[in-house]
Amino acid sequence: MPIRQFQAQRMHAPRDFQMIRPDPVCVEIGAGKGKHALLFSAQHPEKKLIAIERTREKYLAMQKQHVLEGQTNLQAIHADAMPWIVHALLPAQVQQFFILYPNPEPHNPAQRWLNMPFFEFLLSRLQPGGTVTLASNIPEYIAEAQQQLIEVWKLPFVKEVIPGTSARTHFEIKYLERGELCQQLIISKPEGYSTRFDDFKPLQGQNPVQVVTSETDIKNAE
């Protein structure tokens, strides 16, 4: 499937957008109610995780649980992922991206992650040696993504079957309890891999920094 070039310069900043610190980060796209984000940040206190969720109800549920658990290395973001990433992240800033059980877009295949021009921009934000974890319970989705990695993106990957004991997200728990096959691709960015956005800097680089690290900060951010 041919991929046109992503038009990053046309992306408007999300409402109430504020920059983050230029430190290495991990990013979860479509974090839902935050089950994986909270688990990952608790298990990896040395890593900073940004969890992006577009749906306000799910974002607020994640935010509420974050207040209870108190991980200082987790920042919850209520925004559409694409414009937020364009405006907030620097080239090669991200250690890991997580895209766990995205909408399979059955009626619009062009909107699947590895079919979108935006995926090239996403790769430009990933560090050499960094990874993208893409999980799905739909075998055809994984098969198509695998084909795109080989034919279009030319990236190495590992395909894994997710064990029945895994419980990273509410969707994952539901699918595995049904006995469905859940799989993931661990996609790696090799040293020397280049994109057309490697020198593209955030469009709103002068915005102030905001990192949500406490219950007070979270309440103020609502």
Model pLDDT for residues 30-61, shown as the tens digit of each residue = 999 999 999 999 999 999 999 999 999 999 99
| CATH number of the domain located at residue range(s) 22-190+208-221 in this protein | 3.40.50.150
Domain ranges of the chain: 22-190+208-221
Q: Residue 2 — very low, low, confident or very high, per pLDDT cuts 50/70/90? A: low
Strands (E), the chain: 25-29, 49-53, 74-78, 94-100, 126-136, 157-161, 183-188
Amino acid at 46: E
| CA–CA distances in Å: residue 69 to residues 52, 63, 221 | 18, 10, 17
The yes-or-no verdict on residue 147 having pLDDT over 70 is yes
**DSSP code at position 165:** T
**Rounded Cα gap, residues 54 and 187, in angstroms:** 24
Cβ 112 vs Cβ 144: under 8 Å: yes
Interatomic CA distance for residues 182 and 164, integer angstroms: 9
Mean pLDDT of the chain: 89
Q: What is the mean pLDDT of residues 14-28?
A: 85
Maximum CA pair distance of the chain? 49
> In 10 A of CB 83, how many CB atoms?
18
- pLDDT reading at 16 higher than 80: no
